[in-house]
């Protein structure tokens, strides 16, 4: 078939024009070359395609069948060329991205908004997954690009840094006050202990007399006593809220705690960074969050950042894609756009 492609083009032109001379003019080749091409095609198929008359040529029954099919094939080719031209001229295409919910909300969304404004014809598909699942989808060719926190990059992938993030521990003022009060009571045994003040418990069942005693106790604790707990004490004695295990961020935090010799007594696992921030703001405990994702809460005072003796090592967030496959025009365009607009961070 492929050897006959040029012969089919000549056949189709002759059949459309009904005349070898006019076909020769249209194709800029000689009449003998056209006749030779038609003869070769007829011999290869074992049929006669044209009936020759004094006024030109007409298709035989077999020629009509071949003409219809070749016409459909050429129409498909033309449609393909038109679609490619539209992709080039209008920026039409598709981009499939894998990303976690938090990275999508706090980092990717900003870039996508402006990119889509500039390239409205590009279809963007988002698949929210953990880093591990994002890498699997990339390996399977189901997505073009992943946005992940820095981790061990598998062979065959390229990682391009986009921005930097900082892990911190946060809590509310009220939770910290209650935690200090609880430890103060345990140490001095001067006042009765209040079970409702334990980490993570946000309900209270106390009467008015107990409430007055509690208020008086808080007022009489000196600044020195309130601040007697070290960061290590706070992280070990509080209700420590972390992302679930088998998560890149959780692994990073676990490694930090271990390196500092901090062994929490109570851990609450949550599968969403936004929930960690919200839980900390209502006094449920101390949460490990990304500072850049909790800016509004920190600035409003809903949560406070705990000053660590040694900061948690900063991490990068970047795009990852396979370097074993040809990158699409749309993917290259998006990466270039993000690189150009990286200064926004």
> Which pLDDT score, from 0 to 100, does residue 100 have?
93
- The Cα-based distances of 162 to 134, 165, 251, 326, 342 in angstroms read 17, 10, 21, 21, 7
- What's the rounded Cα separation, in Å, for the pair 192 and 176? 19
Task: Report the first-to-last Cα separation within the chain, whole angstroms.
Answer: 56
Crossing angle of helices 61-90 and 5-17, rounded to 10°: 110
DSSP 311: P
For the purposes of burial, counting CB atoms within 10 Å of the CB of 146, is it exposed (0-12), middle (13-18) or buried (19 or more)? buried
Token readout for 187 is 């140490």
> Which pLDDT score, from 0 to 100, does residue 186 have?
63
Determine how many CB atoms are found less than 10 A away from the CB of residue 115: 19
Exposure b/e, 164-201, CB count within 10 A at least 16 = b: ebebbbbbbeebbebbbbbbbbeeeeeeeebeebebbe
> Which pLDDT score, from 0 to 100, does residue 191 have?
45
> Which pLDDT score, from 0 to 100, does residue 81 have?
78
Place of tokens 């851990």: 267
> Which pLDDT score, from 0 to 100, does residue 299 have?
97
Long-range contact list for 201-210, CB < 8 A, 24+ apart? 202/282, 202/283, 202/284
> Which pLDDT score, from 0 to 100, does residue 92 have?
62
Phi, psi of 132 (to 5 degrees): -60, -45
> Which pLDDT score, from 0 to 100, does residue 200 have?
40
Domains and CATH numbers, the chain: 2-89 (1.10.10.10), 92-164+316-344 (3.40.190.10), 169-313 (3.40.190.10)
Per-residue model confidence as pLDDT tens for the chain (345 residues): 556 788 999 999 999 998 999 999 999 999 999 999 999 999 989 999 999 877 789 999 999 999 999 999 988 888 887 777 766 654 567 899 999 999 999 999 999 999 998 888 888 999 998 888 999 999 898 999 999 998 888 888 999 999 999 999 999 999 999 998 877 666 665 444 443 333 343 333 344 554 554 454 444 444 444 456 899 999 999 999 999 998 899 999 999 999 999 999 999 999 999 999 999 999 999 999 999 999 999 999 999 999 999 999 999 999 999 887 667 888 988 999 998 887 454
Phi, psi of 343 (to 5 degrees): -60, -15
Q: At 313, which helix (H) or strand (E)?
A: none
> Which pLDDT score, from 0 to 100, does residue 320 have?
95
> Which pLDDT score, from 0 to 100, does residue 227 have?
54
- What's the rounded Cα separation, in Å, for the pair 19 and 68? 18
């Amino acid at each position: 078939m492929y050897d006959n492609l040029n012969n089919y083009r000549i056949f189709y032109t002759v059949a459309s024009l009904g005349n070898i001379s006019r076909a020769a003019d249209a194709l800029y080749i000689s009449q003998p070359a056209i006749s030779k091409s038609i003869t070769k095609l007829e011999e290869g198929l074992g049929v006669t395609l044209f009936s020759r008359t004094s006024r030109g040529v007409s298709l035989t029954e077999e020629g009509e069948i071949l003409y219809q099919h070749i016409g459909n094939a050429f129409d498909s080719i033309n449609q393909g060329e038109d679609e490619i031209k539209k992709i080039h001229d209008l920026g039409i295409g598709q981009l499939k991205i894998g990303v976690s919910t938090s990275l999508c909300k706090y980092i990717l969304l900003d870039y996508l908004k402006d990119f889509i404004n500039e390239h409205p014809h590009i279809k963007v598909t988002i698949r929210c997954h953990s880093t591990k699942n994002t890498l699997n989808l990339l390996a399977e060719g189901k997505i073009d690009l992943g946005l992940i926190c820095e981790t061990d990059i598998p062979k065959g992938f390229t990682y391009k840094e986009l921005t930097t993030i900082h892990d911190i521990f946060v809590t509310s003022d009220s939770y910290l006050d209650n935690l200090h009060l609880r430890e103060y009571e345990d140490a001095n045994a001067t006042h009765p202990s209040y079970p409702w003040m334990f980490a993570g418990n946000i309900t209270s069942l106390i009467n008015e007399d107990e409430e007055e005693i509690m208020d008086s106790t808080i007022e009489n604790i000196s600044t020195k006593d309130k601040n007697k707990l070290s960061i290590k004490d706070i992280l070990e004695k509080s209700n420590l809220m972390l992302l679930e295990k088998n998560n890149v961020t959780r692994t990073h935090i676990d490694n930090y705690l271990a390196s500092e010799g901090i062994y929490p007594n109570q851990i609450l696992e949550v599968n969403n960074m936004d929930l960690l921030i919200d839980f900390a703001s209502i006094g449920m405990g101390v949460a490990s969050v990304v500072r850049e994702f909790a800016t509004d809460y920190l600035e409003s005072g809903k949560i406070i950042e705990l000053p660590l003796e040694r900061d948690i090592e900063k991490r990068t967030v970047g795009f990852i894609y396979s370097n074993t496959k040809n990158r699409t025009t749309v993917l290259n365009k998006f990466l270039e756009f993000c690189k150009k607009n990286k200064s926004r961070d």
